[in-house]
Structure 1
Amino acid sequence: MASAPPDKDKSKVHKLSLKGSAKLVAEFFQYSIHTILFQRGVYPAEDFSAVKKYGLNMLVSSDDQVRAYIKKIMGQLDRWMVGGKISKLVIVITNKDTGEPVERWQFDVQIFAKPSKSSRSKQPTPKPSPNPQADSENAEPSPTTPTSPPAEKTESEIQAEIAAIFRQITASVTFLPQLAGDCTFNVLVYADADSDVPVEWGDSDAKEIVDGERVQLRGFSTASHRVDTLVSYRLQD
């Protein structure tokens, strides 16, 4: 009698290449920008539509100008990620009237077995209307404690770690103060000092939240990268 085919080993580890891991991290950043803009009410809820990703219903902007702006950012971010040039990405929400940062989402990137280099953060200057601003900054990345590469994981395990971060971002509305007034956003990228920088990207200060609160959120890792998440915010008067 014929034997049945063996069950597929669903726990098989698929090791991502450095390039594949870099693409995964860049894609995570893209969805992070959309999710934060939605959850923090930077743009109206009706400007977003749902897509399925990471086993979740993710909200992404359907505004053509905002989508084009984020796509432009991601085009350069993809190249820097694949080249191992990024140590940090920061999304800063600022008050439109005062220009002061009121909330700062920081994603620290560690590339395993990559020698450390001096870095500067960069941001694109073109802005759509309503204007999310884009800057860049000369800034040294925060020192990180070197760690060994994590144990290899299945693709589903990595996806689950990413999904857990987005659940935390969604749940953050329970402790983050409601944003007052009209707000916009900046995307800062800390790139190696020897990175090729497009002319439309310029230097910027770090846009730190002075005397603000800080909450460490979850992170995720692949065999090549680790990403840790931190949100800083200003308490409302």
Structure 2
Amino acid sequence: MASRTISKDIITLRGSAAIVSEFFGYAANSILYNRGVYPEDSFVKVKKYGLSMLLTQDEGVKSFISNLTAQLSEWLEAEMLKRVVLVIMTKATSEVVERWNFSIETDKEVVEKGLVHFLPKIHITEELYNFLTSILSCF
């Protein structure tokens, strides 16, 4: 039987390495929740940048996402990353069910000069809202 892999359109992450890796963590949580990968009751509603979002409370998943976003941040700061693909697979057969493509655009000035990038909270809130909306539109 032929399997069907859903490949989501490329979603672009923009900003400093810290912002991009943080947003990717929120994206992963959003996808895991909205696709029902983990039980609904394993997520808790939190406010981030004035927006409500659901984050996993499963220690294993939290640890995985935390380690992943830390590694992403390192790679982004070293300009070693242009794209990230998040794959959802079945546990039993390792069959790929969904593939989410994220294009990465880091702020070159921040990376090159080692600057700490501080954006106004309202700008981060708008960017995060637009980013999460683009993910939700794929469902």
Q: TM-score, normalised by structure 1?
A: 0.44
* 5+ long unaligned stretches in structure 1: 1-19, 115-152, 174-237
| Residue in structure 1 matched with residue 66 of structure 2 by the alignment | 71
Report the Cα offset of residue 158 of structure 1. 4.4
Q: Residue 185 of structure 1 aligns with which residue?
A: none
Alpha-carbon distance in structure 2 between the residues aligned to 1:168 and 1:44:
23
Percent of residue pairs bearing the same amino acid type: 38
Q: 2:94 corresponds to which letter in structure 1? A: G
Which string of whole-angstrom CA distances, capped at 9 and with x for unpartnered residues, describes residues 56-98 of structure 1?
A: 2111110111111111212212211222221111111112233
Q: Does 1:30 align with 2:21?
A: no
Give the greater-gyration-radius structure (CA). Answer: 1
Q: Letter of the aligned partner of 1:169 in structure 2?
A: I
Which is helix-richer, 1 or 2?
2
TM-superposition CA deviations, 1:128-183 (whole Å, max 9, x none): xxxxxxxxxxxxxxxxxxxxxxxxx865234313212212323433xxxxxxxxxx
Correspondence 1:91 to 2:86: yes
Higher relative contact order, structure no. (Cα contacts within 8 Å, ≥ 6 residues apart): 2
1:167–1:62 Cα change, 3 Å: same
Alignment coverage as a number of residue pairs = 116
Match of 1:56 in 2: 51
Q: Distance in 2 between matches of 1:29 and 1:154?
A: 19
Tell me, which stretches of 5 or more residues in structure 2 are unaligned?
1-14, 110-118
Classify the secondary structure of the residue corresponding to 1:166: helix
Alignment check: 8 A CA contact 2:82 2:103 kept: yes
Cα RMSD for the two superposed structures = 2.3
Q: 1:156 aligns with which of 122, 130, 137?
A: 122
Within 5 A, what are the aligned runs for 1:172-211?
Answer: 172-173=138-139
Q: Following the alignment from structure 1 to structure 2, what is the Cα–Cα distance between the partners of residues 111 and 166?
A: 18
Q: Provide the rounded CA distance (Å) in 1 between the counterparts of 2:70 and 2:107.
A: 23
Give how far 1:108 is off: 0.6
- CA shift in 2, pair 1:75/1:111, >3 Å: closer
Show CA shifts across 1:1-54 (max 9, x none). xxxxxxxxxxxxxxxxxxx81111110111111111011110000000111124
1:103 CA drift (Å): 0.9
Q: Go from structure 1 to structure 2 and tell me whether the alpha carbon gap of 1:113 and 1:64 turns closer, same or farther (over 3 Å shift).
A: closer
Q: Does residue 1:168 correspond to 2:134, yes or no?
A: yes
| d(CA) in 1 for partners of 2:100, 2:86 | 5
Q: TM-score, normalised by structure 2?
A: 0.72
